[in-house]
Amino acid sequence: MRFLQIFQQLLDHYGAQHWWPGDTPFEVMVGAVLTQNTAWTNVERAIENLKKNKALDPEVILDTGSKELAEWLKPSGYFNVKAERLKHFCQWYVGRGGLNGLKGWHLHDLRADILGVKGIGPETADDILLYALDHPVFVIDAYTRRLFSRLGLVKGDEGYEQLRFKFEAELERDVALFNEYHALIVIHAKDTCRKRVPRCEACCLEDGCRFSKTKD
């Protein structure tokens, strides 16, 4: 199976996912920072705390004391660390002129600049670039490594950039495609291609899966 065929099979099985959850690009960015090492339901609770306190705004976050901000972010876990990271990100965001200030950047330069923010790694940066800023970058996460290594299309231990380049070379560089594909990978890995006790018998990709054949 090739990459586009896998996408189509997942899309046919699950339907469009309409990612990323968030009312504004800035909310998507905050979610990308907070979702590190936690489930999305916990991020939603933390974002709801920010909204209740009228703090889902970069300037307000910067003006809020670290202890108070950490308390609002508590549901997302590692809340002291995430409060610091969110402040660093907001400082960068405001310093670059906010959403309007980022629109004229070339993707390569913008990605490098985001990666310079303390606490922002490649996956978080690419979540922001794809889902909040509409740049065609393919997000690599643990779900992607698991699924495609089981399918036999990657080894699974490649570096982040190596895998990102592979996906972007295999597919047309299209924001809508990358957005939908990543969302489908996540739901499939959570629902069926699970880390422990994968549900191969229910998998829409089973016929072309190397892992499923070795399991039998």
Express each pLDDT in 58-89 by its tens digit. 999 999 999 999 999 999 999 999 999 999 99
CATH code (residue 170): 1.10.1670.10
pLDDT number for residue 30: 98
Q: Which residues of the chain have pLDDT under 50?
A: none
pLDDT number for residue 86: 98
Identity of the amino acid at 206: E
Domain end residue (candidates: 92, 113, 132): 132
pLDDT number for residue 208: 86
pLDDT number for residue 118: 96
pTM for the whole structure: 0.94
CA distances from 87 to 75, 99, 198, 201 (A): 17, 16, 39, 45
Whether 7 and 30 map to the same domain: the answer is no
Whether 123 and 147 map to the same domain: the answer is no
pLDDT number for residue 16: 96
pLDDT number for residue 210: 85
pLDDT number for residue 1: 65
CA distances from 45 to 10, 62, 71, 188 (A): 29, 20, 12, 24
Domain end residue (candidates: 68, 103, 132): 132
Residue 202's Cβ-side half-sphere holds a number of Cα atoms within 13 Å equal to: 11
